[in-house]
Amino acid sequence: MTAIKRLTGMVLALALLAVMMAWLAGWFSDTIEPGSYAPPPAAAAGDSVPVALVERERFEYATGTVRARNETIVSARMMASIRAIHVRAGDSVRSGQLLVELDAREQGARVEQAGQAVASAQARLAEARSHHARTERLAAQRAASTAELERALAALRAAEAELERAREALAEARSAASYAEITATLDGRVVERYAEPGDTAVPGTPLLKLYDPSALRLEADVRESLAASLAVGDSLDVHIDATGEQRRAAIEEIVPSADPGSRSFVVKLTLGEARGLYPGMYGRVAIPTGQVRELRIPAAAVMRVGQLEYVSVRTADATERRFVRSGRSAADGTVEVLSGLDAGEQVVVPDAP
């Protein structure tokens, strides 16, 4: 009984397979009589233009990053509590503008102590001068010995040296107290603010980051074979994708050392001041690599059906359709033809609807 069931299942499976093959072969559909198929009508013919063979400069693009030539990190030169920070990220500042104020009470006390030490040294110097002058008069009258005169002179010189040291200590204390006010060293813009009032400023720890927006440049990584053809002063086209901007930029520096990992050189191009450009933005530099020939036709001549592209080619006898593969489009309304056409052939540009 089991064998009969298996045999029946196999027969049914074969029958179902036969029906599917017959359906795929079209046995259950109406057939088209030979000669009854007509191709789709050709596109309406307009003006025809020849396929142009043009020569253009070929470029290779190197990617890079916009950076500021002049960039500075603002940090404290003494440890103190931050009293106030007068700028935030994005603010424009002028050279000499007050940026950060630190608590300078300790430095003020040291200035006061140094001032008192100067006053004390001045008093001792006045006393030493008086003693020296008196001893000098007595020595002239033979009432004081030469040794006493020499001791008076030595005391005078010591008092003068002490006063000089006290004055230098006062100048040093005043200089340290001046570190409590941190000012901008350049005209620029604040990029980052790393601290807030109440934090403790530590020497060497960044508080602010500034850059000069009038001196931007693109730093691009160029492979060594291309970098060898470049020189400082060359002008190249730079594209900033975020803004859609294109401009000419001169090479100001080629770092004379290649990255051993990528085998590329860093090439720096001057951008100057540009509205809408900021450090860290992505950019590309076009490096010419020679001449290339290409076929170009009006972009309007290319028709598309799904992923396929075709054009109407006018011959001596008729107009035929031909599949093509297009490439780079140009601003003049033409498109590159990678395959399907030869130079000089006439392509039809359909009339606008």
Beta strand segments in the chain, E:
47-50, 52-68, 71-75, 80-85, 92-93, 98-102, 181-183, 188-193, 200-201, 206-211, 216-223, 235-240, 245-254, 264-272, 282-298, 303-305, 308-314, 319-329, 334-339, 346-349
Round to whole Å and give the CA distance between 189 and 76.
19
User: Reduced to 3 states, what is the DSSP secondary structure of residue 204?
Assistant: coil
CA dist list (Å): 227 to 142, 232, 246, 271: 89, 11, 21, 19
Q: pLDDT tens across 306-325, in order?
A: 888 989 898 888 888 889 99
pLDDT exceeds cutoff 90 at 44: no
Q: pLDDT tens across 87-145, in order?
A: 998 899 999 899 999 888 877 788 888 888 888 888 888 888 888 888 888 878 887 78
Kindly indicate whether the domain formed by 72-103+180-210 is annotated with CATH number 3.30.1490.20.
Answer: no
For the domain covering 61-70+211-290, report its CATH number: 2.40.30.170
DSSP 259: B
Round to whole Å and give the CA distance between 82 and 100.
7
> Please, what CATH class does the domain formed by 47-55+292-349 belong to?
mainly beta
* Phi and psi, residue 102, nearest 5°: -110, 160
pLDDT exceeds cutoff 60 at 353: no
Most confident range (mean pLDDT) of 5-19, 20-34, 177-191 is 177-191
Q: Is-contact 283 66, C-beta < 8 A?
A: yes
Q: Is-contact 202 79, C-beta < 8 A?
A: yes
Question: What pLDDT is recorded for position 70?
Answer: 87
For residue 13 the two structure tokens come to 């499976």
